[in-house]
Amino acid sequence: MSRDKTSGPTATAPRDHAKATRRLPSGPKSCDFSYPPEQGNKQSDTENRRQKPPIGLAQSGGFINDASCLNRTPILGVADVHTVDDVRQVLQIARENHLKVTAAGQRHSMGGQSFVRDGMVLDMRRCNQIRIDKQQMIANVQSGATWAQLQRELDREGLSVRAMQSINVFSIGGSLSVNAHGIAHKPGPLASTVKSLRIMLSNGEIRTASPRGNTELFRLALGGYGLFGVILDAGLDITNNEAYQLQTRYMDYHEFPAYYEKNVAEDENIELMYGRVSISPTSYLRETALHTYRKPALGVRPPLLEPVNTTAYRGTKRGFRKMHVWSQETKKCTIPWGFCETGCMTRIFFRSTSFPTIGCQRL
């Protein structure tokens, strides 16, 4: 049987604080190990050749890892590229020296896809320029930019991406290379909002690919993990920023398909949705929480400026933005768009900031 849940504080069972404290990490995650372990003290091919790459590198030799810390790999070096010409130069040197090259952003593709043993790594994070075309409603974004960087630029214009990966720490090139999805069920996967890609092939040639031109390259690059070229930039669909109200419904997972078809797919006011299957021992992989983001009945403009005569806090962490406003005049919880008249538990979501909860509480 399904049930609704309103936003509000939840009670938690008392815990042994000392035991909980002992389980907390004591420092940064250590990535200084290899899995599977290296056999003996065998050197990498790079170390055996003692080859010096003919280009200035941000890192020469040594090891690299991804966010999992499970893929420590010896490499020739890391090239810190800033421009298209930098990328072309590295590829030319790689061709001349028979080197393998991979492109990496935030290195959250946690299977070793961002680098190869004894290869050259293109660090794309400095290629992060963003240009917004409000007439065409397209954001032209270099692949090293993160979703957070794009969100900030769009938010200033009252705009938002139509779809993105579920949190905003990833690079846009990385999300495209793994064919990521998010919570925008209407456009579907991220790939459906990509208008065009500029891709540099291994010979240094740049090709533009889209759903209408160079279609095979377009399909191969989306989800291609960089095997078919280096994604330089992308044209992405954007839309107006809107305010949504979060609603959560719990149900057995068997109920989800029918519930979705009847209550979500045909509801024009639900713009975003995602579900989570329970990992609680009492309802393991059976109970499902379905979160929907609905257009509120009242028109609400996303907060582009700080409210007047109120005390506000706004912070960003992993894509969440929280805003707490206490009105000194009315002595009650409020935000300037009139959404907290019934109390301090209303949760408002703004499309441009990805999973924020905007709530009211006294500061």
Compute the distance between CA of residue 229 and CA of residue 8 in angstroms, rounded to an integer: 48
Partnered with residue 312 across adjacent β-strands are 325
Residues in the chain: 363
Question: Where does residue 264 rank: exposed (0-12), middle (13-18), buried (19+ CB within 10 A)?
Answer: middle
Tokens of 193: 């909002």
Q: What pLDDT sits at residue 23?
A: 59
pLDDT in tens, 199-234: 999 999 999 999 999 999 999 999 999 999 999 999
Q: How far apart are the first and last CA of the chain?
A: 38
Q: How far apart are CA 193 and CA 329, in angstroms?
A: 45
- Res 235 pLDDT > 90: yes
Q: Are 363 and 313 in contact (CB under 8 A)?
A: yes
User: What number of other Cβ atoms are within 10 A of residue 330's Cβ?
Assistant: 10
Proportion of the chain above pLDDT 90, given as a percent: 47
C-alpha distance from residue 141 to each of 106, 129, 222, 325 (Å): 16, 6, 15, 34
360 pLDDT band, cuts 50/70/90, is very low
- Token readout for 189 is 């996967």
Give the tens place of pLDDT for each residue, 72-101. Answer: 899 999 999 999 999 999 999 999 999 999
